[in-house]
Structure 1
Amino acid sequence: MIRILLLLLFVFLIDWYSFQAFKTIFPEQSWVKIVFWAFSIIVYLFVAYGFLTFDRGSLSLNFGRMISLLVLSLIPKLIVLVFMFGEDIGRFLAGVYQSVSGSREGDFLPDRRKFVSQTALILSAVPFLGILHGVLIGKYRYRVVKHSLEFDDLPEEFDGFRITQISDIHSGSFDNKEKLEYGVDLINQQESDVILFTGDLVNNHAGEMEPWVDTFKKLRAPMGKYSILGNHDYGDYMSWPSKEAKVANLKRLADIQEELGFRLLRNENVKITKPALSGVEGEVASIDLLGVENWGKGFAQYGDLPKTAANLSDKSFKILMSHDPSHFDEEVKNYPQHIHLTLSGHTHGMQFGIEIPGFIKWSPASLRYPKWAGLYEDLGRYLHVNRGFGFLAFPGRVGIWPEITVLELKRKSES
């Protein structure tokens, strides 16, 4: 109860300080003050209704709109709060100084400066417009990220082998078929040898994917499409009428993966083969593709890496699909068998952050995950964390765009 009261107090302070900025700039326009408070009250009533009727098992579009409205309202006001509170500290210190020096005239606190309020509101427009762009455009602003990786022991036959990785589709959040089809076409345009999907096909239940099956069936890869499960795919975040219903849901999800043309790997491995360069008929070269079930620090740990890598040669080239990147630091990088490349997703880059190549790369996700987006190398093993194809809860992306990854494997030339 105390936490709720403190949260309500903090929210009130955010609004009160924002109101001070408007009152300073528009001292005579009473309609501005009425509009400000009316908008704030409507937002909070809508949010309160959303939370009172919230069902985690059904993240509806209305819930997404509620989250976007809350973020759109609060984040810009936080910018105003910083400026106005900072000004109040300055006003208080000025009042103390004037009182001590005997130079005080009038009230203890000097009047607010219009310039500070104007600056606060102008700067608050930046996150406001950014969030608005993220909700209306950013969530479907697909970008292709390409990496080329060299390995000493990559079979010659796989020199130039191309992988397209997608992750975190979260089909229950989609609301625009045309934009989604554009994203699927963009995946196909990469013309990779394989497509690897690293989990979270849905938010909670298999039925969310039903409307989009025909769209994702269009994905093409000449050497196969493979997938794993993410933490949301198990149906752990909603209530089921029975254990049997939950099991049936997961089976239906697996069936949908098959309908889409994906081979779902559940703590197992497959070999991807090519004809050997030796020219001997029937002789092949191969790499091992491993798919582990979800294993996350702080999440359910269904994954079994020893089972997944069972009976594999220590000398084979290995690619692991593991949904949660925390698995890499906890188990994979120190695993006795050398796993050359791990592909993960899960973080979404929090769908919010700042990325300017060569200058800055930051997201709140970095506070929870040391390896939260992009390519990492540790102990001679690579990890790539995809920023996600879809979105969850907040129906937008600000600075962290939906990602299609293309990784080209190269055999390091002998010098």
Structure 2
Amino acid sequence: MTHRSGLILSAFVMGAGHHAASWRHPAAPDTPAELTPAHYLELARIAERGKFQSFFLADTLSFSPNLELNGISNLEPLITLAAIAGQTEHIGLVATVSTAFYPPYHLARLINTLDHVSAGRFGWNVVTSTADREARNFGLETLLEHDDRYRDAADFVDGTLHLLNSWAPDAVLRDRATGRYLDPALVADAPARFGRFDFGGALDLPRSPQGTPVLVQAGRSPAGITFAGKYAEVVFTVQRSFTEAHSFRAQLRAAAEQAGRAPGDIRVLPGLWPFLGSTEAEARQLHAELEELVLPEQVAKQIEIFTGLDLSGHGWDEVIPELPESGFQGQQGRYHKLRELIAGGENTLRKLQKEFGTSRGHQVLVGTPEQVADSIVEWFDGGAVDGFSIQPPILPHGLELFVDHVVPELQRRGVFHRDYTAATFRDELRATSAVPAG
């Protein structure tokens, strides 16, 4: 069989692992490694050894309702990735940064610096934030309403990109003979305005290797799809079925075309939770062990985050009320998925744990490396995805298994590259996407 080539893999790491009970399992470290930079550096090195195109750290800006039982998700991502940048050579480094709270000028300086520090490997996961508890940490009562957040985010991104591009690539002269360090004619040092964001002049740092970071996004609402069509180069998403994933990728590619971009400029990476074993029975045992450790309060908190429902004290088999069609201002994709599940009879914590609760709606694969590779290749060859955001349930255990056993299988089948070929993150994505089918 001839396969498409050019599969993209991103390592999405979170604390001791994505599973709600990861830190309690014997395969997880005995000490709180998730609080140490060494933990994330080890994970980045494992992902780079597996030739992953990117390494991703998410972020929220408030005390999480999940923290009591799930543990810490990550250290602050920008600082953590700055530390990782000096200890890795090829892998793209992606951080979540919200458009709701950073001043664009401040963020532009951070992005520019991280792209310099990493020699052109930085990516920005653009989020608008979804919880009012985050807003209150920045002196605001509430966030803007959902679609207004995306309109504001577009102005924010436009302004940030303007600043990052305010120096021409050859603006720095460093002419020792004349004593001229730069050519001011090649710096756009003039006031500019983007929506509510005003700038007095140019960024105070020269252009970085990529100029602008690789832009990543994760929205599934109509406003999120329109935003992604205009800006995103990579989209992280939640899709459990091939049909759903295929349709969503088509929507995003159409949105890119409508924004005047080529459909191939946008790469879609659904989340994937791999539970791996040398046999299918071994993999199923690992999955069962972790699921057995989950408490009803953990599922309840997860549902509350994505719906606003207070389910504290809810037992495993108490019925959850149906959700209204509209009104929720948080993440729309997960809200409507939960609304659909509850209306369809998955209306208790026990049922939702299986369908959504511990995986947050992502695709779960339980099996041998060959079985996991079969599914990845099927979705990729079928045009449903451009790759996957790999979200190991336990870290570093799950990432090591994937790199050591699934990656070689994907390489053997000709869908995944064997080495990096480009200097920057963006160029690596382009090189990967341009690889012809074998």
TM-score, structure 1 normalization: 0.36
Instruction: Report which structure shows greater RCO (CA 8 Å, sep ≥6).
Output: 2
In our comparison, the structure showing a higher alpha carbon Rg is: 1
